[in-house]
Chains A and B, each alone.
Chain A
Amino acid sequence: MNGKPLVSIISAGMSKFGKREGLLAREIFSEAAYEAFTRCPKLNPKGDIKAMFIGHMGEAYEHQGHTGSAMADWAGLTGIPATRTEAACASSGAALRSGIYAVLSGLADVVVVGGVEKMTHRTTAEVTEYLAMASDYPFEQWHGITFPGLFALMATAHMHAYGTTEQQIALAAVKNHYHGSLNPKAHMQKEITLETVMASRYVAWPLKLYDCSLITDGASCIILTKPELASKYTDQPVHIVGSGQASDTIGLYERKSFTSLNATTLAAKTAYEMAQVTPQQVDLAEVHDCFTFAELMAYEDLGFCKLGEGGKLIESGETRLGGRIPVNTSGGLKAKGHPVGATGTAQAYEMYLQLTGQAGKRQVKDAKVGLTHNVGGSGATSVVHIYRSAQ
């Protein structure tokens, strides 16, 4: 656990996730920015912040592109360079990665990285269509394959190869809804039973309604600086000690394996090596549970268990709060919600709270090393970050 800090997080903010009727993305983002600014009274936003990177997936939702400058505008930061990063559901994971590039380049000492998406004013059919845009058009979308469909194709292959069951997959929903019940900012704060998940209707067999993450409005951001400048702004920074990002074919169908995301394996390897951390040393993780099955696959690709044993790991209870390695204490994309562009930095927000002891009822005791895992599309992008508390 000797990896040198790449950058330090000095503050973080997240809007309430949910159905935010009557609000535009920019207005929701200003809520996240306000929290990040007020948490860090020593920071002078207008003078100190030198750049901004904003993850945002789709202009179709609000007929609004050019979201980098729009968010800087509504955060009272007009003038600084502001850029939108787009990598589907990993858009703000990519924003975080870009922020690290900016700080390490020496061009910007203090950088805001964040993300936003406003989705709930659209119909399910519209959202299904917009999300599908992150997958291959000429062969996947063209032949009617939806986003849940792509993860269902992987789940079917995993069930066939390893004997993973629909029940094991459903357990990720039960766990994450329990965690969400402890998060006052989560979209869904109610526990659910295994029976509820199993009885819900199929969206794309074997995935059911309760296996899917939520269509949610929300925004998040974190503020990064050089490790040597962190103490100027806070006594309680969180260090990012590993960063990995990788890509894969845009079409799922071209890949060697349908039971593992190679982009995650590659990104994790880079991040673990940089951090000098092993999977066994990770105290908690926020993984990309866009579908329950994706959480099980993430356990395997991140090395929390062997390939094929994701089903057994969720059954063991070790990834539940109080277990060996709690996963998605925020409620994950499943219960906290998945405003796609906001998800990557919302995971980093949870890690900031956990590693500074501010996670309230869902606090993981003695959390020192955390990991976030943000996937774009069906796995053509994966971003992994490793965090260490300053104590």
Chain B
Amino acid sequence: MSTQEPFTIEQFYKFLGQQKLMAGKCLKCGKIHLPPRPLCDNCYSQDFQWVNISGKGKLLTYTVINIAPAQFQSLTPYAVGIVELENGLKIPGMIQGITQEQLKIGMELTLDFGACNTLQQWPQWPRYCFKP
């Protein structure tokens, strides 16, 4: 086990704040975890290394949210989608800089680190989004 940063979601967002999209690669079976997890769900190993993931991907599915919880209400309507990155890794996120009519399954999107930090006790994670 290396002495590097822990393979946690907290650490994923710390890297994100440094403009790095990082995943955890299992040193035993090779499975890449995005988000990282401290126990490999495939082989139960606890040994990982950080790998840099490209922010380029394609849109698998999307929706446009009109009714949102209070903290997101001022942003409505906003688009969210699930994006497939390299190695078949998938993450969800908001899609910005695009109209609803332009959204298309299969379109290419790039992760944007344009962090909007929120002023709350927990968690203090940055938010990424996707842009065409």
Contact = CB atoms under 8 A, between A and B. Distances in A.
A259 B21 CA distance: 28
Nearest to B10: A138
A233 interface: no
A290 interface: no
B68 interface: yes
Interface in A223-278: 251-254, 258
Interface residues of B, number: 33
Contacts of A146: 65, 67-69
A5 B94 CA distance: 49
A128 B68 contact: yes
B127 A143 contact: yes
Contact of B67 (A124, A142, A155, A160): A124
Contact of A144 (B60, B78, B91): B78
A101 interface: no
B61 A144 contact: no
Contacts of B127: 142-143
B69 A129 contact: yes
Contacts of A206: 63
A114 to B, nearest CB: 29
B61 A204 contact: no
B69 A205 contact: no
Nearest to B80: A145
A152 B77 CA distance: 14
20 contacts: A125-B69, A128-B68, A128-B69, A139-B91, A142-B125, A143-B93, A143-B127, A144-B72, A149-B65, A153-B81, A156-B63, A157-B105, A160-B105, A201-B66, A202-B77, A204-B63, A204-B64, A204-B65, A204-B66, A206-B63
Interface of B: 9, 13, 35, 60-70, 72-73, 75, 77-78, 80-82, 90-94, 100, 105, 123, 125, 127, 129
Given A128-B69, A155-B63, A203-B67, 15 more contacts: A132-B69, A138-B125, A143-B92, A144-B94, A153-B61, A153-B63, A154-B61, A156-B61, A156-B63, A157-B60, A202-B66, A205-B66, A252-B82, A258-B60, A258-B61
